[in-house]
Amino acid sequence: MAFTRDIEKAVCAYERGKINEAVEILRDLYRKVPDSYEVLMNLANLEHIRGNLREAKMYAERCLKFMSTWEMHDIMFDFYYTERQYKKALKHIEQAINLCEGDEKELLREKKVGLENELLGGLKVLHFSIDSPYIHRYVEFLKDNFGFMKHTFILDARENFVPQAHENFKFIILRDDPLLNKISIPVSVEVAFLYPREVLHGGREIVKEIEIPKDMEKKLHSLLSSCDIFIIHGFFGFSEKVLIPFFYRYPDYLNKAVYIPWTGDYFDMYWCLKNLLIENTPLELRNNVHVVLFYMQRRIIKRINTIINLQGSLEEVCKVFDHNFKNAYLFSPYPIVTSFKLLDSLIDVKYKKDSRYILLGNSAHPYNKHVETLKILKNVIGNEGFVVCPLSYPPRSVEAVDKYVNNVIEQGKQLFGEKFIPLLKMIPRHNYARMLSYMDVGVFNSFRRQGFGNIIAMLYLGKKVYMAGTSLRRDLEALGIKVYPIENVRRADFYEHDEKTAVANRQRVLEVFSETTLVENWRRFFVDMALKKR
């Protein structure tokens, strides 16, 4: 009875605005009954109100041993925030959010976002990449969602990539032709340094003969020293020509490195090496610069601890480079080129058409196995449908690519006549999205991971998708997304795709690959990097 009366006295004192008196009553009770949750909770709240965070934290910590409540976690957050122990602060605010309901939940979320933005605002991120539609969308994505952060992009841009100016984004465009220095560019973009074609003399030297121009090396030292982390978006272009030799010589920078593998920078060379490491391979072929660079790349990647990609790609990379990454962030890192918002406007569009349309592959890359797949389709659909074949990416600038594309067109015309439609020019994003919505089926028979953006867009639009047995197909199936094995393709049910499966695929794709999910994944990653910096 005495305990209850003292609690009531403390409550009355608080209601009269006499907080100090209420605290004294509760402290006296605490000395008598130190394990009373009711006393501890009230003491924690009152000390919190009085601004005595250390005392509030002590009582809240003891409360949490008895019961986990959002109020006590909120007190713990405030204490650790003032102590600049941000990792612990974030842990408690996340637990508070999970336990809270109602209007307070949104206020807690705002506190969490406020701390995260404070951390991210001081994070300097350096990116190395080739120019690519995926990178264009990624830059847009970062500007829309992380525009308050400082990002520097070093782009090996063979085309005229001219990003929109942004106060926190800097673009360093690398060129191997001095005449391109005369291009008019926005304030936020600079052609900071060039690399001559002689760096590799046509790609036939041995590594010991590769010399990085001194001014470029100096610039790299400056950029890498001033950033907090740097992200390697695949080992292509400049990364292959300059970064691999550079990091081979200066590996200490790699403790800041984050690797986003692109299939071509590990899959292609892996199979190349498997074919080279056989008896009677000519010595000059074994000493080809690309082979040596791959071995250097393996040495470099073994020094990198952090990777971003889906599980299937991660397994392939670990196998090729014989390396298990210490920190693996398992999410698809890039927004799809045709945004979900754009696709939403096309989901319910009904087209009046007299024939079926099939999308074949995603690019001019030979790994799409175009001719082989065309023959399969001919046996399955005969002359029933049109076959639309994107052959515009990558840009047709290499003689071997032109020869391959011309052969695909010739074979396609022989098999399907005017019903074979090759796409030879890049199409504006909104037109490409509309074209995808017009398709009935997508067929992706590549024997490596590629066509991700097309596949996800087709699935979101509710289309039937056939795929070869790549790690990408395994990833999608593991995520609960229904795709169809190309090896099981049959005439009888080639086009059949029930509405229930289409809707389930769309919902799951949205859950896993939407921009909202992508923002959450990148925010978590950037926050982790900011916490490590501290």
State the CATH number of the domain containing residue 397: 3.40.50.2000
- Using alpha carbons, select from 342, 389, 349 the residue that is nearest to residue 370: 389
Q: Is residue 532 part of a domain?
A: no
pLDDT at residue 260, as a whole number: 96
Residue 290 confidence (pLDDT) above 70: no
E strand or H helix at 327, and its extent? strand 327-329
Q: Is 162 a residue whose pLDDT tops 60?
A: no
- pLDDT for 439 beyond 80: yes
- DSSP letters of 24-50? HHHHHHHHH-TT-HHHHHHHHHHHHHH
Task: Tell me whether residue 531 is in a domain.
Answer: no
Answer whether residue 500 is part of any domain.
yes
The rounded distance, in Å, linking the Cα atoms of 53 and 49 is 9
CATH assignment of the domain containing 17: 1.25.40.10
Per-residue pLDDT for 208 more than 70? no
How far is it, in rounded angstroms, from Cα 19 to Cα 53? 15
pLDDT score, position 192: 54
| Residue 235 placed within a domain | yes
Q: What is the mean pLDDT of residues 504-518?
A: 94
Task: Confirm if 334 and 522 have CB atoms less than 8 A apart.
Answer: no
- pLDDT value at 175 more than 70: no
pLDDT at 429: 86
Does the pLDDT of residue 123 top 50, yes or no? yes
User: The whole model's pTM is what?
Assistant: 0.85
Answer whether residue 182 shows pLDDT above 50.
Answer: no
Pair 242, 111 in one domain: no
Is the Cα torsion angle 345, 348, 352, 357 positive or negative in sign? positive
Average pLDDT, the chain: 85
If you count them, how many residues does the chain have?
534
Give Cα 516 distance to the centre of its chain. 13
- 449 and 354 housed in the same domain: yes
Q: Using CA atoms, how far apart are residues 25 and 15, in angstroms rounded to an integer?
A: 14
For the residues 7-19, what does the mean pLDDT come to? 82
Distance CA 382, CA 389 (A): 17
Q: What does the CA dihedral 24, 25, 28, 34 come to, rounded to 10 degrees?
A: -110
Give the separation between CA 157 and CA 414, rounded to whole angstroms. Answer: 37
Q: What own/partner pairs with CB < 8 Å and gap ≥ 24 does 469-477 have? A: 470/312, 470/446, 471/312, 471/313, 471/315, 471/316, 472/310, 472/312, 472/313, 474/312, 475/310, 475/311, 475/312, 475/313
**pLDDT band at residue 183, thresholds of 50, 70 and 90?**
very low
Instruction: Rank 13-27, 187-201, 267-281, 298-312 by mean pLDDT and report only the highest.
Output: 298-312
Q: How far is CA 117 from CA 229, 351, 526, in A?
A: 17, 45, 10
Find the mean pLDDT for residues 514-523: 95
pLDDT tens digits, 330-356: 999 999 888 888 898 998 888 888 889
- Residue 436 — pLDDT band, cuts 50, 70, 90? very high
Task: Name the token pair of 415.
Answer: 């098999």
pLDDT at 136: 86
- State whether 309 and 228 are in the same domain: yes
Q: pLDDT category, 214, cuts 50, 70, 90? A: confident
Q: Answer yes or no: do 348 and 496 share one domain.
A: yes
The neighbouring-strand residues paired with 154 are: 128, 172
* Domain C-terminal end among 272, 302, 334: 334
For residue 394, is pLDDT > 80?
no
Angle at CA of residue 230, ends 302 and 92, nearest 5°: 95
Q: Is 190 left (phi over 0), alpha (psi -120 to 50) or beta?
A: beta
Directed axis angle between helix 311-321 and helix 267-276, to 10°? 30
**Cα-flanking dihedrals φ and ψ of residue 74, to 5°?**
-65, -40
Name residues whose C-beta falls within 8 Å of residue 143's C-beta, 6 or more positions apart in sequence: 164, 166, 169
164 pLDDT band (50/70/90 cuts)? low
Domain count, the chain: 3
Domain boundary among 119, 145, 175: 119
Do 387 and 486 have their domain in common? yes
Q: Tell me, yes or no, whether 385 and 263 share the same domain.
A: no
Q: Does residue 533 fall inside a structural domain?
A: no
Do 281 and 401 fall into the same domain? no
Same domain, 407 and 479: yes
**Angstrom distance (rounded) from CA 155 to CA 135:** 9
**Do 19 and 33 belong to one domain?**
yes
pLDDT at 283 over 80: no
**202 band by pLDDT with thresholds 50, 70 and 90:** very low
pLDDT at 203: 41
Residues 437 and 475 in one domain: yes
Reported as a single tens digit per residue, the pLDDT across 397-408 is 455 677 888 999
Q: Which residue has the higher pLDDT, 303 or 136?
A: 303
In a domain, 351, yes or no: yes
Q: Is 268 among the domain residues?
A: yes
CB neighbour list of residue 497: distance below 8 Å, 6 or more residues apart = 441, 462, 463, 464
Q: Structural domain of residue 19, as residue ranges?
A: 2-119
Residue 528, in any domain of the structure? no
- Confidence class of residue 189 from pLDDT cuts 50, 70 and 90? low
Q: How far apart are the C-alpha atoms of 24 and 323, rounded to whole Å?
A: 60
pLDDT in the model for residue 476? 94
Kindly report, residue by residue over 219-237, the tens digit of the pLDDT. 899 999 999 999 999 988 7
CA distance 511 to 517: 7
Domain end, chosen from 92, 119, 146, is at 119
State yes or no: pLDDT of 181 exceeds 50: no
Read off the amino acid at residue 133. P
- CA dihedral of 225, 231, 235, 237, whole degrees rounded to 10: -70
* One domain, residues 239 and 294: yes
> Residue 182: which CATH number?
3.40.50
If asked whether residues 403 and 501 sit together in one domain, one would say yes
